[in-house]
Amino acid sequence: MQLLIANKNYSSWSMRPWLVLKAFDLPFEEVMIAFSAQPHGGEFKQKVLSINPNGKVPVLLDDGQMIWDSLAICEYLAEKFPQLPLWPADLALRIRARCISAEMHSGFMCLRSQCGMNIRADLKALGAKLWAEDEGLCKDVARIEQIWTSRPSLDRFLCGAFSIADAFYAPVVMRLKTYGLPVSDSAQRYMALMMAYPAVQQWVQSAVAEPMRIGYLEADR
């Protein structure tokens, strides 16, 4: 399997299937296509378009198939490796995992647009300003609090063991940290658990070490 991703510091969609592949120790080759300086264009776009007409990453290439959406990739992996609990084995937990992953996939637009993922940055001052001014952002974080604090056990992941659902919320953990948004003790415990998870640590270390700074993805653009 080959997983096409963009810069680890910025690409929140790439992070999700990458974490799932790593967490379950699935063999894959990572192919990084760096964002270009032009928003949604340049060499990045040309390279991605030559493989995926949708023009976006992540893309999984496997066995002659191309899967071009983070949730579809995770579903594909869950089907390909049915013996592994990519989704929880328990029906109720599996329903919860699927619902919260779908909710993340299609929602939280304020958080996603106002607080772009930028793992190595410290944007707490901007975060405080946004928190004071943006009601939509506060509502998104309140809903995330609800989801995180209703996990089955406060010392475990969103649906017990690490699953696709946690991979979907990993970029939120990064955003809350970068922008210093205020969250409850219970949410902070979940964030600490995620930050200590080996696959997350690996992604973060690579993100911090990336030399490229893409202007339009920085808050001081």
Ligand X SMILES: N[C@@H](CCC(=O)N[C@@H](CS)C(=O)NCC(=O)O)C(=O)O
Q: What is the contact surface with ligand X in residues (CB under 6 A)?
A: 6, 11-14, 40, 45, 55-58, 69-71
- Rank residues 17 and 160 by Cβ distance to ligand X and give the closer one: 17
Specify the residue, 69 or 140, whose C-beta has the smaller distance to ligand X: 69
Work out how close the CB of 198 gets to ligand X at its nearest, in angstroms, rounded to a whole number: 23
Shortest separation between residue 23's beta carbon and ligand X, angstroms: 18
Min separation Cβ 70 and ligand X, Å? 3
Token pair belonging to 53? 């007409």
Write down the least CB distance from residue 90 to ligand X, Å: 26
Based on CB atoms, which residue is closest to ligand X, 45 or 124?
A: 45
Given the complex with ligand X, which of 7 and 191 has the nearer CB atom? 7
- Measure the N-to-C terminal CA separation of the chain; round to a whole number of Å: 36
**Do 2 and 65 meet the contact criterion of CB atoms below 8 Å apart?**
no
